[in-house]
Amino acid sequence: MTTVTGIKTGWHNLNRMMGGLNELSFGKLIMIGGLAHTYKSGLLHALHLHTCLQAPPEVAKGKKPGVLFLTSMRRPYDEITWMYNAMLEASPDDKPVTPRNTFEVCEYVENTLQSAGWTSLVVQPVDHEYNEDDLILDIEKANQNGIEIRAVFIDDVAWSLNSTDLQSTLETLRHYIGDINILMVGTDRLNTDVAMLKQRLGDLYLPNMPENNYWDSAFDLSTVVDTELFVDTRTVDDRRYLDIMRGKPVSVDNGPVQYRNAVIPFFGYLTPPVDIFAAK
């Protein structure tokens, strides 16, 4: 099996933003921030799908590579349905017969992921007592069941992990994923006043803004996470685009200035290019 050191996002310009090997590297913690309704969760879902449709990394003998998606906002079946629709959109020549019932949707997604070599686990906390210790326990339980988790995606970290001290929560998780060398990507809302100011001032690093507390749930996540991605949406000539801006990285190369932003046109579910599917 080819040695894999991280996850390709599905977009060359977003890969370049990460410096080094042009990927979301294992052992790193990445946070996606933005205002409400700026497609933070949508980008997270797309990265989850991209991960599951590319060559998996090597894992311990007898294990299967796995991805864990944690969300308190959506039911597991909703995430599977999202992946199903995105798969159909990206593979127009491989559309199954419609309509589909619940079982057939799940079966199609499971078979597609298995053909790529991954197992995807979608976890929805049953109450608001779920925290970072529960997440670590779920990762270790998966490993005991033969699934070695290599990437974790968390939709709305503060809410899903019931965290009143997000900085401390992420410090715990950052230490954990560094020890076991897995990728973790989460989302959180930005402070409204700061984000609106950034929109007016244009292409500046958020840490250089006149207000330090630019994350909504913690004072300064930039000292905890390996890198930050900030998202916003805009419309030009009746077409929608997703703007992605990179914050100051802690352990990711700065790279040339022109590589610190990426603009991606919306196309349905922001699906990956066809070559990811062709490489299965």
Taking only the tens of pLDDT, the chain with its 280 residues reads 457 788 888 788 888 888 777 888 899 999 998 888 888 988 998 898 888 888 888 888 889 999 999 987 767 777 788 788 877 776 656 555 554 677 788 888 888 887 888 888 888 887 678 999 999 999 999 999 999 999 999 998 988 888 888 888 999 999 999 999 999 999 988 877 766 666 665 554 555 555 556 777 666 777 788 888 888 888 888 888 888 888 766 666 666 666 778 888 887 655 544 333 333 3
How far apart CA 6 and CA 251 sit, in angstroms, is 14
pLDDT of residue 252: 60
Question: At residue 122, what is the residue type?
Answer: V
> CB-hemisphere CA count at 13 Å for 144?
6
Of the candidates 22, 92, 118, 115, the residue with the CA atom closest to the CA atom of residue 273: 92
How far apart CA 138 and CA 120 sit, in angstroms, is 13
pLDDT of residue 212: 59
Task: For residue 38, count other CB atoms closer than 10 A to its CB.
Answer: 21
pLDDT of residue 67: 94
Q: How far is CA 171 from CA 152, 174, 175, in A?
A: 15, 5, 6
Tokens, residue 218: 């913690």
CA angle 79–60–280, rounded 5-degree value: 50
Question: Dihedral, CA atoms, 130, 132, 135, 136, nearest 10 degrees?
Answer: -140
pLDDT of residue 133: 93
What φ, ψ does residue 220 adopt, rounded to 5°? Answer: -150, 85
Which DSSP symbol is given to 110?
Answer: H
CA angle 108–142–116, rounded 5-degree value: 35
pTM, to two decimals: 0.85
Give the SS3 label for residue 87: helix
pLDDT of residue 95: 57
pLDDT of residue 94: 59
All domains of the chain, ordered by start, with CATH? 6-278 (3.40.50.300)
Are the beta carbons of 213 and 207 closer than 8 angstroms?
no
